[in-house]
């Protein structure tokens, strides 16, 4: 039977991804018609009845206790972020919240001051749906130099990093391991969806990306959630070439996060960032490579 709730969809998908040999369930050489564990096998591992787990997966029971959910999370081998997502889905199912337009996100003055202090490091401020709320000059140049630098200051025109990753060729070429970066972005949106099930703007974004990108639709349906607070990425910048940065997400509570890119001291990557900083400091310099080549040709 098809899952009838976000919680049931998550349980069904993750159960189908878990092989019997992963959790020590004997199969005695039998051929299985469907991949993954059977419902009764997962229920046995979690210490709950098969009928109860079936109702939970089919969206027919919304009263699972935290202890039962924790047991199911253990049986599914969920990481801490996935466990929290499971609890968020169960809470949202019990509350039956209606979708509503969220309050506009804004950048606080202390956060803007932090961007100024981080002038030597690329930094951007992201809202919960990955909208770019602000960036410093080097952050703009590194992550999306082809986008209008003033766009984050106009709520209706703010760039969205998830949208850019899946629909903008520039961002696809920017990351050497694009699938890894794309999965991290989808995982972050998944966590947000669990925490804010009422967010109509998030639902619209997911619907848009699912319709326009088969890759996004597949990653969203996969239900994989991996924390990405600190992650290295190889970038292939159109102006300064290849560099490896560590992207660190700084969070100060439920509000926007600051993403900072750092490089190893005395490395070629640090030299590339220095070159990029020098380039954008030149009067009239554009981080759009096409416009830069045009300017160079006029010199």
Spatial distance between the Cα atoms of 67 and 209, rounded to a whole number of angstroms: 35
Residues 188-208: tens digit of each pLDDT: 999 899 888 888 999 999 999
Domain with CATH 1.10.260.40 in the chain: 6-95
Could you tell me if 81 and 89 are in contact, meaning their C-beta atoms sit under 8 angstroms apart? no
Phi and psi at 265, nearest 5°, equal -60, 145
What CATH number was assigned to the domain covering residues 109-290?
A: 3.30.450.180
Domain with CATH 3.30.450.180 in the chain: 109-290
Fold of 6-95: 434 Repressor (Amino-terminal Domain) (1.10.260)
The low-confidence residues of the chain, meaning pLDDT below 50, are 1-3, 283-299
What integer pLDDT is reported at residue 29 of this predicted model?
Answer: 62
What integer pLDDT is reported at residue 113 of this predicted model?
Answer: 85
Residues 77-125: tens digit of each pLDDT: 999 889 999 998 988 877 665 656 667 788 888 888 888 888 789 999 9
Taken in order 43, 45, 46, 47, the sign of the CA dihedral is positive
What integer pLDDT is reported at residue 65 of this predicted model?
Answer: 86
What integer pLDDT is reported at residue 299 of this predicted model?
Answer: 35
Alpha-helical runs (H) found in 76-156: 80-95, 109-117, 137-144
Percentage with pLDDT > 90 across the chain: 56
What DSSP designation does 151 have?
A: G
């Amino acid at each position: 039977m098809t899952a009838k709730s976000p919680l049931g969809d998550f349980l069904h998908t993750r159960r189908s991804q878990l092989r019997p040999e992963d959790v020590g369930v004997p199969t005695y050489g039998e051929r299985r018609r469907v991949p993954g564990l059977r419902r009764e096998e997962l229920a046995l591992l979690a210490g709950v009845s098969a009928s109860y787990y079936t109702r939970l997966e089919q969206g027919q029971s919304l009263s699972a206790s935290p202890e039962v959910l924790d047991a199911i999370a253990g049986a599914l081998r969920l990481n801490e972020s996935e466990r929290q997502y499971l609890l968020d889905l169960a809470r949202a199912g019990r509350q039956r919240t209606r979708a509503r337009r969220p309050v506009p996100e804004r950048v606080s003055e202390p956060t803007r001051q932090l961007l100024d202090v981080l002038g030597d490091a690329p930094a951007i401020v992201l809202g919960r749906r990955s909208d770019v709320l602000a960036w410093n000059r080097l952050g703009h140049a590194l992550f999306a130099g082809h986008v209008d630098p003033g766009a984050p200051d106009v709520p209706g025109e703010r760039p969205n990093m998830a949208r850019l990753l899946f629909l903008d060729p520039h961002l696809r070429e920017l990351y050497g391991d694009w699938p890894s970066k794309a999965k991290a972005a989808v995982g972050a949106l998944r966590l947000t969806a669990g925490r804010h099930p009422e967010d109509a703007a998030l639902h619209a974004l997911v619907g848009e990306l699912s319709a326009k990108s088969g890759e996004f639709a597949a990653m969203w349906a996969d239900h994989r959630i991996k924390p990405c607070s600190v992650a290295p990425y190889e970038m292939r910048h159109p102006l300064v070439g290849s560099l490896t940065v560590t992207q660190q997400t700084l969070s100060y509570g439920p509000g926007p996060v600051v993403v900072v890119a750092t490089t190893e001291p005395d490395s070629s990557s640090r030299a590339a960032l220095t070159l990029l900083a020098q380039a954008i400091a030149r009067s009239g310099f554009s981080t759009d490579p096409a416009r830069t080549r045009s300017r160079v040709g006029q010199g």
